[in-house]
Amino acid sequence: MTFAAPAESVHVRAPGKINVYLGVGGRHDDGYHALATVFQAVSLYEDVIARHADDFSLTVSGVDDPDSVPLDDRNLAMRAAKLLAAAADYHGGVALEIRKSVPVAGGMGGGSADAAAALVACDALWGTGFSTSRLHELAARLGADVPFALHGGTAVGTGRGDQLNPALARGRFDWVLVPSDQGLSTPLVYARLDALREEEGALADDPPLSLDVPIPVLQALRSGDPELLSESIYNDLQEAALHERPELETTILRGIHAGALQGIVSGSGPTVALLCANADAARAVQASLDEHGIESLHVHGPVAGARIIG
């Protein structure tokens, strides 16, 4: 393998995601659950800048609480860089700078976006020249949501969520996001779902009766009609997330009262995603939430996956 070093730094932008549909099946022995999900990449981005260095280092900006993001090997972007270096037999390092916009531990795949961006940035910086499928394979080893952050757009995810097939989505969907001050742990929410299912008598290890994305979800995405989509957006993790954060239900209801077509918890939460009829409706929802002192963000999807910019 040859290593060209054409650039001093590489800037990559990767999107956060909303799970438009999230069906959770049984838990496997490795602790992961079988999923049938539809991801949509939205216009809220993580920026990762990679610069040549002898060692591996990381800085993070854009977070209220600096302690909320680890700067060592617990950080998925750091792990991504080291995984790529090992796979490519590259012996140098990298200084990674992460500028965050996606809420930390918010259920929108911000850490996964960092990892995807770090893979693309280091691949370009080091001249590794890995194929998309090789990067996808490394991404899946880092986390279930990382391949989607590479892929972007709208996609059906099966397996742990890492086996992707593109889904046709026409037009654009406008979402108002309500982040929470406090993040929510993804493993905790999955464990809560298992506990709730056990209480209901369905053992967490039972094979799911059916774990497919319902056809109406895919039809609604193809039609580009947000009203149609609002009838089929769904999240199996929502009940578990609401169990941990009951106040999120009020946020969803406020959003609908403010004019959103429908609201769901995004992924494992706690970010609430409100689907709106169009950009004007989203701005009106935002204004109404603002009157109640609720801060929100207006984003749209689908957008591209991890890309080199500048």
Amino acid at 297: L
> Does 158 sit near ligand C5P (CB under 6 A)?
no
CA distance 95 to 93: 7
- Minimum CB distance to ligand C5P smaller for 102 or for 258: 102
* Contact between 161 and 287 (Cβ < 8 Å): no
Question: Which tokens sit at 170?
Answer: 């026409």
Among 15, 147, 161, 301, binds ligand C5P (CB under 6 A): 161
The single-letter DSSP state of residue 70 is -
Out of 47, 97, 114, 145, point to the residue binding ligand C5P (CB under 6 A).
145
Shortest Cβ distance from residue 163 to ligand C5P (Å)? 11
In the chain, the amino acid numbered 113 is: A
Q: What does the alpha-carbon distance between residue 290 and residue 93 come to, in Å, rounded to a whole number? A: 45
Q: Residue 72 carries which side chain, given as an amino acid letter? A: D
Contact between 160 and ligand C5P by CB under 6 A: the answer reads yes
C-alpha–C-alpha distance, residues 213 and 1, integer Å = 41
Rounded Cα distance between 307 and 23, Å, is: 29
Please count the residues of this chain forming the interface with ligand C5P, following the rule CB under 6 A: 12
Q: Does 190 bind ligand C5P (CB under 6 A)?
A: yes
In the shown chain, the binding pattern of residues 103 to 142 toward ligand C5P, with x for contact by CB under 6 A and - for none, equals ----------------------------------------
**Residue 175 interacts with ligand C5P (CB under 6 A)?**
no
Out of 40, 101, 158, 186, name the contact with ligand C5P by CB under 6 A. 186
Q: Which residues are catalytic?
A: 17, 145
Residue 192 as a binder of ligand C5P (CB under 6 A): the answer is: no
DSSP string, 207-248: PPS-----HHHHHHHHHT-HHHHHTT-EETTHHHHHHH-THH
**Taking contact as CB under 6 A, which single stretch among the options 61-69, 95-103, 123-131, 184-192 is the one that binds ligand C5P?**
184-192
Going by the DSSP 8-state scheme, the letter that residue 159 receives in this structure is T
Residues numbered 33 to 52 that lie near ligand C5P (CB under 6 A) are: 33, 35
Angstrom distance (rounded) from CA 140 to CA 149: 11
From the CB of 298, what's the least distance to ligand C5P, in Å?
26
Binding site for ligand C5P (CB under 6 A): 31-33, 35, 143-145, 160-161, 186-187, 190
